[in-house]
Amino acid sequence: MERMSRTIRRAMLAVAQNEALFMFTAFVVAGVLSTSLLYWYQDAVDLAYRYIVVPWGMALCLLRIAKRPEAQRTGKEIAILFMLLAWIVVPFAIRFGLTFNNATSWQGSVSVYFAIYALASERDAATREKRFDLACALFAALGFVLGTAMLWCAWNVQTLDPGEAEFGFGIYDRMILCHGVHYNLTGMVSVCCLMMALAGAERAKKPVVRVGYAVSAIEMMLVIVLTQSRTARYAMIIALGAGAYAFLLRRWKNKGIARRQIAAIAAACAVVICGYAGAKVFTDAALSHYERVYTQRAEEARPAAQTLAPVPENTPAAIEIATAGEPVTASENAAASAIETAASEPVTASAIETAASEPVTASKTAPVAPAEQTVELEARAPVDGSLSGRTEVWRTLIEFWKESPKYFFIGNGTGRTGSIVVRGTSMESLGALMIHNAYLQYIADYGIIGFGLLMAFALCIAPAVLRAFFGGRPGMTAMGMMAIAALLTGLMESQPLGAMTPINMVFFFALAMMKSTGSEKGA
């Protein structure tokens, strides 16, 4: 019994100290379970986040303090993160107090900066590799389950519970694939699962395992395309092009520098062009499939044509039942009324002629509603002039800074600027309170001072990250692609850099893996 209790205790401690498992749990709660589709147990999800995810993240931060590695292993970027956290907490606590937005941003920043990045980057190589493999396996499994379910809905053109939820699970608005949240968020979740699955495929040694990762990755690629999220699609395609560029640079080390660069750039451009064209072809094929299914369902939903009673054999002519697509004249509708009235009696041709102003021919019978027009769907345009209203918000934000320049330097606090800058724009009618640009959002929240500290952190780890990306260690190319996709997504969405958002957690985990790998000798 004592041995069993020790085993259970060690297992629980191993789980509690695993930052990769923590990241995945927080990712699932924030990105998959917190959907409008699952509204009936959102209270349970909120409680799980509040009493499991939040305390777990804080405990990992305390663990990092208690078991801090040797001084020479702690990078300068950790000190910068600490200064950034102090800037996020102290001035805004003085200005606004312990508000919900403040507490949420503080907790999220602490967890991402220290429970995920610092703890993962400072692990010894063996432990870090195990954490990395676990994260790849978990995200690939999630991608496979989520991707299979979503592609099944796309193939069958179904949406689960679209009535109660703002976004159902499946086809939304007759052409966009969602997993219960906005299609852009669906795309971001899928990008994270895709890149982690690609990292697992890079690292896998057994062919069967590699195939499993590849299947998950392919499903996520298809889901990203079917969401029609332009942000996620373009981020994925460009990230894949960057991965091809890094791969060819490594493969052709013996070639001249100029030849290597030209070939690598050509390969990256080919991947981007082919990826864009392939995504368009697949989207058009999917929309054609949706059209056929919707049209078929419209046909099946039409009222069944009323059939005529058998005509006695001694009538002058037999009456033939009309086909569903034939038009019906007003005189024929009158004849049909007579047929309905006399449903209990045999209907003869003379009875029909009496009810109608003109005789009914043998090929005309009961009325049939005209067939609905064929459903026509059109893919979303590649881009529009206002970037779906984003440029309006950005202009309003700049005007706000011109009127109150101090907020450009010191920030206006978490979530306090969105309601101001969307006023009078097309975003206001949508109820959106985000600036839809992670970098502008960060400056609006924490000022250019906070953004400057974040950039100092990025510059500090950049050399190690680049060495890892171009170094060829298993999984590092995919992690570099994850970082690129997150940075590109940040141009159009606020979620990257947004504390405990799903894409930001995976982004910092990728940075931790790359920085620690690139800092090793011989990397």
321 pLDDT more than 80: no
In a domain? residue 438: yes
318 pLDDT more than 60: no
The secondary structure element, H or E, covering residue 227 is helix 207-227
Of 251-260, 346-355, 482-491, the range with the lowest mean pLDDT is 346-355
Of 307-316, 325-334, 367-376, the range with the lowest mean pLDDT is 325-334
Model pLDDT, residue 112: 95
Mean pLDDT of 287-299: 91
Q: Look at residues 319, 337, 370 and tell me which one is the last residue of a structural domain.
A: 370
363 pLDDT more than 50: no
The helix-helix angle for 230-251 and 183-203 (nearest 10°) equals 20
The secondary structure element, H or E, covering residue 176 is strand 176-179
Mean pLDDT of 120-133: 91
334 pLDDT more than 50: no
- Do 144 and 205 belong together in one domain? yes
- Do 321 and 468 belong together in one domain? no
Both tokens assigned to 360 = 């009914």
Q: Which residues pair with 178 in a beta bridge?
A: 170
Question: Measured between alpha carbons, how far is 15 from 22 in angstroms, rounded to an integer?
Answer: 8
Are 442 and 499 within 8 A, CB to CB? no
- Do 427 and 355 belong together in one domain? no
Q: Look at residues 320, 339, 370 and tell me which one is the last residue of a structural domain.
A: 370
In a domain? residue 376: no
**Residue 317 domain boundaries:** 303-370
- Do 278 and 364 belong together in one domain? no
- Do 95 and 220 belong together in one domain? yes
In a domain? residue 217: yes
Which of 61-70, 323-332, 382-391, 405-414 has maximum average pLDDT? 405-414
In a domain? residue 95: yes
- Do 6 and 137 belong together in one domain? yes
Question: Measured between alpha carbons, how far is 265 from 42 in angstroms, rounded to an integer?
Answer: 47
The angle formed by the CA atoms of residues 166, 433 and 490, to the nearest 5 degrees, is 95
Q: Distance between alpha carbon 443 and the CA centroid of its chain, in Å? A: 24
pLDDT digits over 86-96, tens only?
Answer: 999 999 999 98
Both tokens assigned to 195 = 């890149």
- Do 130 and 205 belong together in one domain? yes
The secondary structure element, H or E, covering residue 4 is helix 2-16
In a domain? residue 375: no
H-only helix segments in 33-182? 42-48, 54-66, 76-96, 100-110, 119-121, 125-156
Q: What is the pTM assigned to this prediction?
A: 0.83
Both tokens assigned to 161 = 């519970």
CB atoms under 10 Å from CB of 340, counted, come to 11
The secondary structure element, H or E, covering residue 196 is helix 183-203
Q: Look at residues 349, 370, 391 and tell me which one is the last residue of a structural domain.
A: 370
Q: What is the DSSP letter of 290?
A: H
Question: Any residues with CB less than 8 A from the CB of 358 and at least 6 apart, and which?
Answer: 331
- Do 354 and 460 belong together in one domain? no
Q: Which residues pair with 176 in a beta bridge?
A: 172
In a domain? residue 377: no
Q: Distance between alpha carbon 96 and the CA centroid of its chain, in Å? A: 33
342 pLDDT more than 80: no
- Do 325 and 291 belong together in one domain? no
Q: What is the DSSP letter of 342?
A: T
Both tokens assigned to 118 = 């610092």
216 pLDDT more than 90: yes
The angle formed by the CA atoms of residues 488, 214 and 185, to the nearest 5 degrees, is 35
By three-state DSSP, how is residue 170 classified? strand
| Total count of domains within the chain | 2
How does residue 380 score in pLDDT terms, banded at 50, 70 and 90? confident
Model pLDDT, residue 431: 54
Q: Which residue in 181, 194, 183 sits closest to 222, CA to CA?
A: 194
- Do 321 and 398 belong together in one domain? no
Percent of the chain at pLDDT exceeding 70: 80
pLDDT digits over 416-447, tens only?
Answer: 887 788 776 666 555 557 788 999 999 999 99
Model pLDDT, residue 273: 97
Which of 32-36, 213-217, 262-266 has maximum average pLDDT? 213-217
- Do 324 and 455 belong together in one domain? no
pLDDT digits over 224-283, tens only?
Answer: 999 999 999 999 999 999 999 999 988 887 777 888 899 999 999 999 999 999 999 999
Average pLDDT taken over every residue of the chain: 82
Model pLDDT, residue 258: 85
- Do 69 and 213 belong together in one domain? yes
In a domain? residue 168: yes
Are 472 and 514 within 8 A, CB to CB? no
